[in-house]
Amino acid sequence: MPVDGIDYQAQLEALLEQIRAKGVRDARVLEAIRQTPRHLFVPESHRHYAYIDHALPIGEGQTISQPSLVAQMTQLLELQGDENVLEIGTGSGYQTAILRRLCTRLTTIERFPRLALQAYRNLQQLDLPPITFVIGDGTCGFPPYAPYDRILVTAGAPPKVPQPLLDQLSPNGGKLLLPVGSRQYQVLTRITKHGQRIRSKTFGECVFVPLVGKYGWKPDEVDGWHTL
C-alpha cells in the first residue's frame, strides 16, 4: 500500500532480495526484517532512501546502519528465540526492533539521550513486547540483567574488547558480536564464552561509528565525523 505516493512494501521486498544475495538465509531473520518498516526509523528528510542498502544519518553525528549489515549481524547472533540479549548502541532503534522479534528479553543502551528518546518513539509505532531502554555508557554493560546470552555492539570498539562485556556474557555459550579495530575501520568479531574459555571468530571488515566510553574510545580520541 503506497504511503505519500511511495510503495514502501515493494521497496522492502527488493531490499530483502539484496540481503538474501549477500548470504542472509535465516528465515526468522528475514521475516523480522520484513516486519520492520525501516522508513519509520529514518528522519523525514531521508525517508525516500529508507530501503536503499545504505547507512543514513540520524542526528548527533550517528547513523542507522546499512540494512544488509544489520541482517548479517543478526544472523551471526544465531538467536533461537529464548535469549536474554543486550544491545549497545540503540541509534534509531531499527536493529532493536529486529532483535526484539527474535529473543525473550532485550535491553538496549544508548549514550545520546536525544537518540534514545527518538528510538523509543520510533519503536512505540510497532506492536512489540517490552524493551528496557538505558541511557548511558554501554561499554560498562548493564549488570542488573546479566548474564546475557547475546551481546550486540553496533559501534566500533577499540582492539581491547571492553572487559565488562566479557564479564557479563553467559558462560554457557554466550556470544558477543562487535566490530573491533581502529577508529577508521573494524573487523566484525564474534566471541563465544564457555566457562572461562573465550573463543573468537572474525567475519570480514566493516566501518562503524566509534564506541565511545570508559572501556571504548575516549571522546577526545574521536576526530571528525564517522559514517557507515
The residue assigned the cell 560498562 is: 140
Q: Which is nearer to ligand SAM, 12 or 155 (CB)?
A: 155
Determine the Cα–Cα distance for residues 95 and 29; give it in Å rounded to an integer.
Answer: 11
Of residues 77 and 88, the one with the C-beta less far from ligand SAM = 88
DSSP bridge partners of 199: 192
Which residue from 84, 92, 168, 170 is in contact with ligand SAM, where contact means CB under 6 A?
Answer: 92
Chain positions 56 to 85 lying near ligand SAM, rule: CB under 6 A, are 62-65, 70
Q: In angstroms, give the least distance from the CB of 94 to ligand SAM.
A: 4
Among positions 91, 158, 164, 181, the unique one binding ligand SAM when judged by CB under 6 A = 91
CB of 146 to ligand SAM, least distance (A): 16
CA–CA separation, 17 and 46 (whole Å): 22
| Binding residue (CB under 6 A) for ligand SAM from 89, 158, 164, 181 | 89
Q: How far apart are CA 49 and CA 32, in angstroms?
A: 20
Please state the closest distance from residue 197 (CB atom) to ligand SAM, in A: 26
Q: Is 139 in the site for ligand SAM (CB under 6 A)?
A: yes
User: Shortest Cβ distance from residue 35 to ligand SAM (Å)?
Assistant: 15
Could you say whether residue 37 binds ligand SAM (CB under 6 A)? no
- What is the layout of strands, in order, in the sheet containing 150-153? 132-135, 105-110, 84-88, 150-153, 172-181, 186-194, 197-206
Rounded CA separation 114/33 (Å): 25
- Can you tell me which of 8, 94, 142, 148 binds ligand SAM, judged by CB under 6 A? 94
Sites for ligand SAM among residues 181-210 (CB under 6 A): 208-209
Single residue of 111, 150, 183, 193 touching ligand SAM by CB under 6 A: 111
x-or-dash string of contact with ligand SAM, 154-183, rule CB under 6 A: xx----------------------------
Whether 190 contacts 76, CB under 8 Å: yes
Q: What's the CA gap between 158 and 135, in Å, rounded?
A: 21
- Which residues make up the interface to ligand SAM (CB under 6 A)? 62-65, 70, 88-89, 91-92, 94-95, 109-112, 115, 137-139, 154-155, 208-209, 211-213, 216
